[in-house]
Amino acid sequence: MKLAALRLRQRDGVSCGPAVAVVAGALLDPAYRRELVAPAWFAREQGRVHGRINTVWPRALGTTPMGMARAISAQGAGRGMPYRWRLCHGLWGRRDAMADVLAAVAQERPVAMLVGNVIPRHWVLIVEASGERLRCYEPSSGEVRTTSVGAVRAGRLTGLGFRRAFTFVLPSDLNSNV
């Protein structure tokens, strides 16, 4: 799928999580993927997903890691791919080997990453890895941007809205590697 060409943007200032969940679901499920060509469907689907995963948590505060794991699991459930969340390990992630993240992406299973500066604020989706390079869907722009594993570990992300990774949401069958 040519994700970058679709320019799929989040529908408002608090729907980065639902946008990431919908795109992750489209990458995991070919039938669901066909719907992405309709921009109106993408906007409606973000609203539907946001309502489903934020039943207790206020929508104005975005999507929690638990909510993101539920959303991606529901989207990929037909393919038997439950997702879980985990913290980015160590100060600024320096101790985080990210082996599970890289393994998931190598198997064409996207990984959601919650980023921020002092507090977590924005979801992006790691969709491809090549050596130290990561390609990430950034929902506020609808672009696929490049960063590096080193930038994730060092808390020096650029082009993804914020500098530091806080949480990863990845397939449950991959063990955390610190």
pLDDT in tens, 22-74: 999 999 988 888 888 888 999 999 999 998 887 777 777 889 999 999 999 98
For residues 84-93, average pLDDT: 82
- Provide the pairing of β-strand 164-171 with 111-116: antiparallel
Between CA 41 and CA 22 the distance in angstroms is 11
- pLDDT value, residue 30: 87
Mean pLDDT of the chain: 89
Between CA 70 and CA 76 the distance in angstroms is 10
Is this structure's pTM higher than 0.85?
yes
pLDDT in tens, 6-19: 889 999 999 999 99
Return the closest-CA partner of residue 147 out of 89, 24, 138: 138
Query: Per-residue confidence at 76, pLDDT binned at 50, 70, 90?
Result: low
Q: Are 123 and 139 in contact (CB under 8 A)?
A: yes
- pLDDT value, residue 58: 74
Buried b (16+ CB within 10 A) or exposed e, 13-28: ebbbbbbbbbbbbbbb
All structural domains of the chain, each given as residue ranges with its CATH number in brackets, are 8-171 (3.90.70.10)
- pLDDT value, residue 80: 65
